[in-house]
Amino acid sequence: MTRINDDWLTAPAAQAVCAMLTDAGFQALFVGGCVRNALLGVPISDIDISTNATPDQVIAAAKRAGFKSVPTGYDHGTVTVVVDHEPFEITTFRKDVETDGRRAVVAFAKTAEEDAHRRDFTMNALYARPDGAIVDPLGGLEDLRARYLRFIDVAEDRIREDYLRILRFFRFHAHYGNPEGGLDAEGLAAIAANSAGLETLSAERVGSEMRKLLLAPNPSQSLASMAQCGVLARVLPGAEARFLPVLVHLEEQAGLAPDAMRRLVCLGGEGLKDRLRLSNGEAKQLDQLRDALADTAGDAELAYRLGADRARDVALLRAAMTDGQMPGELEQRLVSGDQARGTFPVSAQDLMPAHQGAALGARLKELEARWIASGFALTKEELLA
């Protein structure tokens, strides 16, 4: 029998939440990403628990056990129980009853097997008992071992219930799939035939999914496949996947962690801010990178204007989108530009009263340009001479 034995599972808080349910006569099964990732030996992001208790029964059991509960998704069966400041999402077994394509409409179910059928992919329909024993109603373990992402039952049905599953397919392949095996052909065919449904999704859901996809160590194969089956043009009109593999390679060489905005700029496309509901901070980063890419300023000047990290991103993007070669001695220029920030030796004061208003601004700009061109070497006296 397969068993997992990770610290998060044996931790007193997780065991206490399970006991809270089982002591009340209900089942407690860990499910989804935590089980999948434990089996893969990679870190988990959150702990989801499924149960045959209804949300009201979960709330009552939490109360008896003295734990705080929050009905975070009461209508679709989710109650969050907090133990030792740690949140556990407890969701009642569910089954799909009807579909509107934007979110599956579900009813409560009695068994884990029914619950498994309403999930998206076989590797996401793995459960673990409180003692770590794996429950695998749909053969997800075999697919997980092969790192093969497969829709549960009929791919087309799964997609029509919730079009976000199209993007999740590419996201999970990017993170956990086997690049040698490629993507599942039945899944891809069903996606290609149903990609129009993506238009019905909210920008918020699309944005959150695309961010997670772009943060995979190497999302290139997924993005290339999305371009090929028409998904990329739906979610990011005008975007192109062909420069991404080079960017990812250069990032690896430079030892840089994945960055969603850097990668997004590499894809390009129109209306990204609205289509992905970017935050103000993200939109600002995106604009800075795009403006700098369109500009002819050198690396040192960009580091002076934007800081070394942003300027390094621009250098990577420029290389990825041209000949793939990084310029020599880049780091030295980035350091010199970065260190020069805030040290321009001339102030408005120095130019008054000879210069006023717009002419003053223009003169300052001109001197700053000369100073930058000198490698930040000219002194105030030299500049004013």
- Contact positions toward ligand ATP, by CB under 6 A? 32-33, 45-46, 48, 119-120, 124-125, 162, 164-165
By beta-carbon proximity to ligand ATP, the closer residue of 116 and 292 is: 116
Which range in 31-39, 112-120, 207-215, 227-235 contacts Mg ion by CB under 5 A?
A: 31-39
Residue closer to ligand ATP (CB basis): 33 or 245 = 33
Q: Which candidate, 203, 127, 114, 193, places its Cα nearest to that of 164?
A: 203
Answer whether 198's CB lies under 8 Å from 204's CB: no
Residues forming a β-bridge with 88: 81
Phi, psi of 81 (to 5 degrees): -110, 130
| Tokens representing residue 68 in the block | 């705080």
Stretch that binds Mg ion, among 33-41, 63-71, 124-132, 265-273 (CB under 5 A): 33-41
Contact 99, 14 (CB under 8 A): no
Q: Are 74 and 55 in contact (CB under 8 A)?
A: yes
Q: How far is the CB of 305 from ligand ATP (least distance, A)?
A: 36
Q: Decide whether 165 or 262 has the Cβ nearer to Mg ion.
A: 165
Q: Is 86 helix (H, G, I), strand (E, B) or coil?
A: strand
H/E stretch holding 79 reads: strand 78-83
* Closer residue to Mg ion, CB minimum distance, 33 or 137: 33
Q: Would you say 33 or 337 has its CB closer to ligand ATP?
A: 33
Residue 304 Cβ vs ligand ATP, minimum distance, rounded to whole Å: 39
> Quick one: which segment of 44-52, 138-146, 211-219, 372-380 binds Mg ion (CB under 5 A)?
44-52
CB burial string 22-37: b at 16+ within 10 A, e below: eebebbbbbbbbbbbb
**Which residue, 123, 117, 137, is CA-closest to 106?**
117
We find the least distance from the C-beta atom of residue 120 to ligand ATP, in angstroms, to be 4
Question: Environment class of residue 80 by beta-carbon count within 10 Å: exposed (0-12), middle (13-18) or buried (19+)?
Answer: middle
Q: How far is the CB of 122 from ligand ATP (least distance, A)?
A: 10
- DSSP-assigned beta bridge partners for residue 3: 133
Q: Running DSSP on this structure, what letter comes out for residue 24?
A: T
- Cβ proximity to Mg ion: between 170 and 304 the closer is 170
- Tell me which of ligand ATP, Mg ion, none is bound by residue 162, counting a contact when its beta carbon lies within the kind-specific cut-off of 5 to 8 angstroms: ligand ATP
Give buried/exposed letters for 243-274 (b at 16+ CB in 10 A, else e): bbbbbbbbbeeeebebbbbbbbbbbbbeebee
DSSP letter (8 states) at residue 327: P
Residue 175 or 277 having the CB closest to ligand ATP: 175
Q: Is 46 in the site for Mg ion (CB under 5 A)?
A: yes
- Which of 33, 55, 130, 137 is close enough to bind Mg ion by CB under 5 A? 33
In the complex, minimum distance from the CB of residue 48 to Mg ion, in angstroms, rounded to a whole number: 5
Nearer to ligand ATP, 98 or 329 (CB): 98
Which of the choices ligand ATP, Mg ion, none does residue 119 contact, using the CB cut-off of 5 to 8 A by kind?
ligand ATP
Min dist. Cβ of residue 246 to ligand ATP (A): 27
* CB 150 to ligand ATP: min, Å: 13
Size of the site for Mg ion (CB under 5 A): 2
Contact yes or no for 141/121 (Cβ under 8 A): no
Q: How far is the CB of 36 from ligand ATP (least distance, A)?
A: 6
The distance of closest approach from Cβ of residue 89 to Mg ion in the complex, given in angstroms and rounded to an integer, is: 8
* Contact between 219 and Mg ion per CB under 5 A: no
**Among Mg ion, ligand ATP, none, what does residue 143 contact (CB within 5–8 Å per kind)?**
none
Tokens of residue 182, six digits = 């490629």
Q: Which residues contact 108 (CB under 8 A, 6 or more apart)?
A: 54, 77, 92, 93, 94, 95
Beta-carbon contacts of residue 71 (< 8 Å; ≥ 6 apart): 55, 59, 78, 79, 80
Residue nearest to ligand ATP (CB): 33
For residue 23, state whether it binds Mg ion (rule: CB under 5 A): no
Given ligand ATP, Mg ion, none, residue 164, with its beta carbon under 5 to 8 Å by kind, binds ligand ATP
Question: Among residues 205 and 273, whose Cβ is nearest to ligand ATP?
Answer: 205
Q: Which residues contact Mg ion (rule: CB under 5 A)?
A: 33, 46
